[in-house]
Structure 1
């Protein structure tokens, strides 16, 4: 083998090594980017849950003045609210679902109390909570989409080898309870 062939082989080896190292770096950085997007998407849910958490005491106080004997409904809202800010994302979403059900009970109380239904404070809080609910629903969709993209990237060949080398963990999408998947019955 001539000296020129030897140099060509070394040069090819160096180029291949550079390409492999470059691919590992690009794949690693891409996985980091996706993982951070998942965290950011969760933080958007967290912001909206906190917003709702902060609105609820005002709503409860407004309702208390009108519906003194509806303490059980108010207690359910307060209990669900207290569980909202701790635990895993899935536990927090389950607490959020409980809170959502309890809030529906409060809004149903407004039908029984016309003065409450007409109260500007109550109407404004109800509007703010409705807007927050919409933001939470959007944030959940964004979170699940981001988790799906991250998991696809993490599990696709050959990036999956880099993901396993650097311990990139799979993320869980948020799910809804089985009871909420049933089609509601409407009776007239």
Structure 2
């Protein structure tokens, strides 16, 4: 066997290893996005499970804010529907985020409610869930950024297009959430 043949075989093996490495890296990044998305979904599910308990414990105190409570339940139901696109689910969850913030502000008007042990436990659970949800969203967005970079940068972009990989959208704050709140209005 001549040196030329060994060099050619070595080059072919090296190219095959590089191709396999790039493809495996892309698959790993796609799976990381799916895993992170599953974590976000799990946190949304936990939040959805807390909402009916929170609404039930608050209903007796907040008779005239029943519209807000009904809106929380409605958004929760819509967000749990199967076959929603990522964008639809994100939009509904952004609306739910806003409704929960409005709800928390409304609670300030009910000192007896705030003193209720059951409500306090539910509120603490919801706050913990919201913190975990924020962390899951950050993890998801980091995985999406890594994935999007991989499918757009050369040479992995060649393999990504052959594999049918497309850009994923990050979870973003709604326009309403990006506006600084006027704290003065909260106390009127």
TM-score (norm 1): 0.90
Q: CA RMSD in A?
A: 1.7
2: CA distance, partners of 1:177 / 1:77:
17
- After superposition, the Cα gap between the structure-2 partners of 1:149 and 1:47, relative to the gap in structure 1 and judged at 3 Å, is same
- After superposition, the Cα gap between the structure-2 partners of 1:111 and 1:183, relative to the gap in structure 1 and judged at 3 Å, is closer
Alignment of 1:57-136 (within 5 A): 57-86=52-81, 87-136=84-133
Deviations 1:48-72 (A, max 9, x none): 0000000000001001122233221
1: CA distance, partners of 2:175 / 2:59:
32
2: CA distance, partners of 1:29 / 1:66:
56
Local SS of the residue matching 1:131: helix
Paired residue for 1:22? 17
Deviations 1:130-152 (A, max 9, x none): 11111111111111111111111
Deviations 1:17-56 (A, max 9, x none): 1111111111111111110000000011001000000000
Matched, 1:163 2:160: yes
Q: How many residues align?
A: 183
Matched, 1:51 2:46: yes
Local SS of the residue matching 1:63: helix
2: CA distance, partners of 1:91 / 1:31:
26
- After superposition, the Cα gap between the structure-2 partners of 1:181 and 1:107, relative to the gap in structure 1 and judged at 3 Å, is closer
Please say if residues 72 and 100 of structure 2, whose CA atoms lie closer than 8 Å, have aligned partners that are also in contact.
yes
**Ranges in structure 2 where 5+ consecutive residues have no aligned partner:** none
- After superposition, the Cα gap between the structure-2 partners of 1:69 and 1:180, relative to the gap in structure 1 and judged at 3 Å, is closer
Local SS of the residue matching 1:175: coil
Matched, 1:181 2:178: yes
Q: Which of the two has higher C-alpha Rg?
A: 1
1: CA distance, partners of 2:162 / 2:140:
25
> How far off is 1:96 after superposition?
1.3
> How far off is 1:14 after superposition?
1.3
